[in-house]
A and B are shown apart, each in its own frame.
Chain A
Amino acid sequence: MSLKFLSADEAQVQGSFTPLLQSNIEAELVAAGAQIEERDGWRVAANYGDTIAEKKACAESVGVADLSSLGITELLANPAVIEAITTGVAGTAAKLGEAVFAGGAWWCTVKPDRVLAMTAPGDTASLRGRLEAAADARSELTSVTDLTSTLTTFSVSGPLARDTFARITALDLRDREFPLQGFQPGSIGRVPGLLLRQGSDSFLHTFGAASAQYMWESVIDAAEDLGGRAVGIDALGPLGGAVEATTNA
């Protein structure tokens, strides 16, 4: 199956044409003071002019970053096939309600027969390739689809991250109910979303890309009211986590 038209990273320089990959909300980020830089083929909000203050926000209040460039690959298959493929590709498999970080990706089980792999932009194509190869080798129906452009992800990090979400969602994010590496779907800001707790105070919030502007306005509004701010990816660790956050399975 060839569905290259779904993948932004299939864009190539063609003569005088140099495609740019960018966030749906680049205009909003720029209006908020973002310094846009090219990283791994994407135009990203690297910082908002003061990386130290942005890191401080993530450490002391809450920082919100647009991670639209985060690669997201969907794997659909029966649970046994999913376990076999993810174990083969990443050496591990995530249970329902949790995510595991392995092989440079967060493996998030949305349903027993649906897993999302979240990767750094530069790793997305190669991971997709490995998954497609693994899928092709199976006799059972297995689908690999690039959802990078379909879903947008925000990083919400800092001690007030939970309070930020408490303004926009009724999800129970207490430690006991949503432990480290917890992953769950839910309504966030009245939009279907997926939430991954990748660090003690660090969350990845993923949702439909068409809602990105609305969600940015909603999350930033809540964060700023609590003393937080927009931050660039330079204030964050790998995959948008707090600097110390990402754990290895």
Chain B
Amino acid sequence: MVENLVLGIGVTALAGALATVAGAAEDTESDIGSQGDPNSQVQLAPQMGYIHRIFNKAVSGEPPAYGLWCALGAGVAWAFMAINLNAILALIVGAAVAVFVQGVYATTAYLGRTASLAKFEQPVYIDILKSVTTVTMAHAFVAIFTTISMCYLMVAALGHPFPLPLLGLVWGIALGAAGSATGNPFYGKERQYQEQKFGAGVPISASGNIVRYAEAGERSSLDNGWFTSKLAGPASGLCFGLIVFFELWRTVLFEPFAGGWGAVIAGVVVILIFMVIDRFIETWARTTFGPYTEAAAAEPEEATS
């Protein structure tokens, strides 16, 4: 019993660590490709007269896209395990096939979107296609491989009743959602709009006016990856890692209580605690950094200074 519990906690910690890596890689990948909500500004820029050299990877929202990559990776791994291939090898083959599909989707999205903007004189830069696609594929491989390995741990070590591909789908969607919600604001609001005043938001007049030139030369999507891998990636990793860790931790520890309801109650308690923490951080951040409350009084002073 105790040994089972210790094994369960160990697997939980390992799965949480894998998820942290997955979250960090996923967010960096989507930022390099300009997927998710920052994509709308990249798409809009040429229409407002701002020709750019940023990748435009409009596959779909990140949750469905990562739902597919991880489900596909897990599905191929499941199929190869069914014909008795070694589990680790099967996971690698699965992630490789999924990354191939991801890379192809990335190229067709860039070519399609850019060719459809011919009216606004936005050319297709095929060097972007060659240099950036491979970098997003590498990050996607890390994200997919860690996620499906985590799913395999749940099935093989914790005895999860779902088959591997279904877990891949569920956790892939969760991974995409975590990266999209946590990491993208760093790219969309901080990196694309560095020329705007901090906290100014994106007024209509600034729509599409994204940063296109770098400190030296022209900004490439790889610079965006470099920028967001500093804070946005780790923040997404922490988010997804905590989700996976708490999800497994509450199940491993509290499932024996109250006929399984113990885990449900523990989950509700964890959510409530996080709601309190979130609320506290939000109010603290707004009073410390936010211009919202003092905007009316402070604005004329700032204009003169």
Q: Do A and B truly interact?
A: no
- B binding-site residues for A, Cβ under 8 Å: none
